[in-house]
Amino acid sequence: MQPNAPSIEANSRPWRTDQSNEHVALIHFGGQGSDYLDQLTHLVTSFQTVRNLVGQAQAIFEQIDVTKHTRIEPLLWATEPASRPSRSALLHACVSYPLVFLTQLATYMAFLESMEVTHDELLPRIRGGTGHSQGVVAAVLVATATTHSDLEDLGLQFMQLMYHHGCRAQAAFDSVEEGHRANKVGNVVPTPMLLIRGWTESTLSSFVFDFNDHTMNYHAPVQISLVNDATSIAVTGHPMALQRLHAALEGKVHSHHPIDSFRLEFLPVSCPFHNEMLSDAQSAIEADATRLGLVIPGNALHFPVIGTTSDATDLKTYRSRDIIPDLIRMQLSETIDWPAVSVTLQSKIGKEKCNVFDFGPGRSTPLVLYPRRPSIQVSDWLHRTKAERAPMSPREAQVAAIWAALLTVDEADIGRKTSFFALGGDSVIAFQAVAACRAIDVNLTVTQFLRDPTVKGVVKAANSTQSTDKVVWPEAHVAPSSSDKANDDFTVYPTTPIQAGMVTATLSNASAYVLQVTLRLSGAFNQETLVSAFRSLVAANELLQTTFAATDCGIVQLIPTARKPVAAVISHVSDVALPELLESDFARGFTLNDSSFVRLAVTSPSIIDGSESYGVMTIHHALIDGWSMNALLSDLLDIMDGQIVSTRPAFRTVVDYVNAQDDVATKCFWTAYLQDVVPAPIGHETPKHLDDTRGDGGSLTLTCSVPLSRVAQVAAEWGVSQSDLAHFAWAATLRKFTRQNDVVFGHVRSNRGIPLDGAER
């Protein structure tokens, strides 16, 4: 044993060699999707046998041509962390597939060293083994090797096969994935594998079938590939297809299922293992095995190794037949049925005293499937870590304190993974919790809160929201037939759907969507100051210089280039009363022939309005919304006051964001979300059960006046926004007049929560 290897007292070992033969073991290994390199690094620095093994592995990799991916140097990366490539490079199948296997072999060898036992001494005690995904190969290695020397030599052969397997699988996927790449959506990076927690296999199978049927014209089908347990299932396919499935599932669960029991997670893999699209690589990998001299008949196994398909076949039953082809197929294109595998593996024990050893890497293998067997995470044991609850971060502790106060529970009973709903919370109190979190700068939406209502999940969602300012969306483009409007003075840009709708309304009614703001001028804030400030404000914001045009492809916006900015439109009027000015200016409205969709009119003092003068700013709603109007006026007043105003983000970035969204994913979400929704009868033909033959069929009008101050007071008492209070009030109204407990209605959103730098400005 290496001098600096962990010192393990005999009575602290998880399994001792001096025990009777009645005490036996089951072994299993994990698969892809884990951060394996940290585990390998610990083993290299702590165990000499592992260091020697990894050194031999690196020498083998040095002889392999790796022109198409990162050079594989496991010993260097373990001893000099600064030399490591990017995380995406480490997760690439050509790199991760052989190194995950190497980490599994290294963990097993370190276990032997710590136990002060040889492989051939431990072998008779092992009653069975398996592996999750590629882990089944490590189980076959341990079952086949007779001596420690066999373990190393055969292990390095298998490592080379795993390298070729990863590369062949990746190449097969890349050949069909080209042209179907998905863009990053916010902080979510779609991958070829989506883990779904909270649904049974039968429910998910039905949903996936319908999803494939509805989207067959847009992408290749997705498929269920890994059944981890009754409600933890992985689906594989093109990242873009899984991105759309993700949207459809979110739409379905948000409207039909308890949110706190449902999770979606893209797994960090580069290839959709266990998917039929990889089956073309089978013959090439079999040829690689033949070239490496790897032929393993079933009767060469010293203990049962359970295959990972629903048949859960004991590979020993192959007898003289080579198991390698089926071993490759299990990882490449066949579905994993882990519950079936677990049941079969445990049947090999009977009444014997048994430990289950999980060699990892990481915690990728679900131990819950062995509820009656003492289970040991070998990597944790080797690290000598304590099974304690992870301490909370300062921000998590603040969130826990808020929950304790809101729900009147003991803060000590709240852990990082404690559910808000398990503590007695509900969707109404969730609004108060979100408001309280915002007060301590933990900013997230109610939707984000409900998606993962744990202390850890809430803080993670808030951090995710704060980091979205680095997302850059691809630049939007108009159809070629619309670009004829472009010249050296203007850039033709698409409009958002709501902009197009507003401008279209203006074509038939010049006053449609016209907004007016009146400023009373006095003292230093006079006409001259206002006019100068307005010119500066327009010159500094391309949005205020933007106009619109109609093309064969619809409404587009014309954004002036820096070469020729648009001058502010300012008029001076006199001897006109303010109400008359507002009325005439509103009637004038805007047309597509206008050089600007914002203008300023300044009135001079007159006997009509006494000694006061006013400024009237008129702007089209297509340029600005209510949220931004306050910001615009704030900038205008700051300039008038002589203050420096920072440049606000260009609105075109919002257009970029809107155009970058996947329309199919959006359709999938809303189709699932609104499935089975019955339209409210209000505004339609009166249903029979609501028909009142006693009246004359006329409308009923009820007027109830509540001061805005009272609305604000009630909202503050409940810890919700005035907007949320209005939504609840309207929902209650619809419930009363439709005689339905579930009602659906639409409302306008400010969309300041989109993953876009400066959206709130």
Successive 10-residue mean pLDDT values, the chain, 761 residues: 40 52 80 83 91 94 75 92 88 94 96 90 92 93 95 96 95 76 61 92 94 90 92 93 91 67 86 94 96 95 94 94 96 93 82 81 54 71 54 87 89 84 78 85 81 86 58 71 64 89 93 92 84 90 90 87 74 84 93 92 71 88 85 89 84 85 86 76 55 56 75 80 82 81 72 65 63
pLDDT at 758: 66
Domain match, 612 and 696 both: no
Q: How many domains does the chain have?
A: 4
Domain match, 146 and 33 both: yes
Domain match, 553 and 649 both: yes
- pLDDT tens-digit profile of 159-171? 999 999 999 999 9
Domain match, 303 and 379 both: yes
- For residue 494, say if its preceding peptide bond is cis, omega within 30 degrees of 0: no
Assess if residue 543 is contained within a domain. Answer: yes
Q: Which positions ≥6 away from 67 have C-beta within 8 Å?
A: none
- pLDDT tens-digit profile of 58-91? 999 998 866 666 789 999 999 998 899 988 889 8
Domain boundary among 470, 504, 536: 470
Domain match, 26 and 79 both: yes
- The C-alpha atoms of residue 720 and residue 707 are separated, in whole angstroms, by 17
CATH number at residue 412: 1.10.1200.10
Domain boundary among 356, 383, 410: 383
Which of 71, 95, 269 has the alpha carbon at shortest distance from 165? Answer: 95
Q: Which positions ≥6 away from 380 have C-beta within 8 Å?
A: 387
- The C-alpha atoms of residue 583 and residue 570 are separated, in whole angstroms, by 17
Which of 225, 245, 199, 239 has the alpha carbon at shortest distance from 31? Answer: 225
- The C-alpha atoms of residue 402 and residue 429 are separated, in whole angstroms, by 12
Q: What is the dihedral of CA 720, 721, 726, 729, to 10 degrees?
A: 10
Count Cα atoms within 13 angstroms, Cβ side, for 253: 23
Would you call 611 exposed, middle or buried from its count of C-beta atoms within 10 A (0-12, 13-18, 19+)? Answer: exposed
Sign of torsion, CA 74 78 79 84?
A: positive
Assess if residue 15 is contained within a domain. Answer: no
Q: Which positions ≥6 away from 90 have C-beta within 8 Å?
A: 37, 70, 84, 96, 99
Domain match, 548 and 604 both: yes
- pLDDT tens-digit profile of 714-741? 887 887 777 788 888 888 888 887 777 7
Assess if residue 239 is contained within a domain. Answer: no
Domain match, 581 and 487 both: yes
Full residue range of the structural domain in which residue 430 is found: 394-470
Q: What is the DSSP string of 396-415?
A: HHHHHHHHHHHHT--GGG--
Sheet arrangement for strand 232-236: 263-266, 193-197, 232-236, 223-229, 336-337
Domain match, 486 and 608 both: yes
Domain match, 78 and 48 both: yes
Assess if residue 258 is contained within a domain. Answer: no
Domain match, 365 and 435 both: no
Domain match, 347 and 319 both: yes
Domain match, 504 and 425 both: no
Domain boundary among 336, 357, 383: 383
User: Is 306 within 8 Å of 271 (Cβ atoms)?
Assistant: no
Assess if residue 330 is contained within a domain. Answer: yes
Tokens at residue 561, please?
Answer: 């280039």
Tokens at residue 284, please?
Answer: 């090439």
Give the pairing type, strands 375-377 and 490-494: unpaired
pLDDT at 654: 86
Would you call 676 exposed, middle or buried from its count of C-beta atoms within 10 A (0-12, 13-18, 19+)? Answer: exposed
pLDDT at 5: 42
| CA 97 to chain centroid | 24
CATH number at residue 585: 3.30.559.10
Assess if residue 546 is contained within a domain. Answer: yes
Assess if residue 219 is contained within a domain. Answer: no
pLDDT at 681: 66
Assess if residue 747 is contained within a domain. Answer: no
DSSP 392: P
pLDDT at 8: 41
User: Is 330 within 8 Å of 302 (Cβ atoms)?
Assistant: no
pLDDT at 273: 95
- Segment (H or E) for 494: strand 490-494
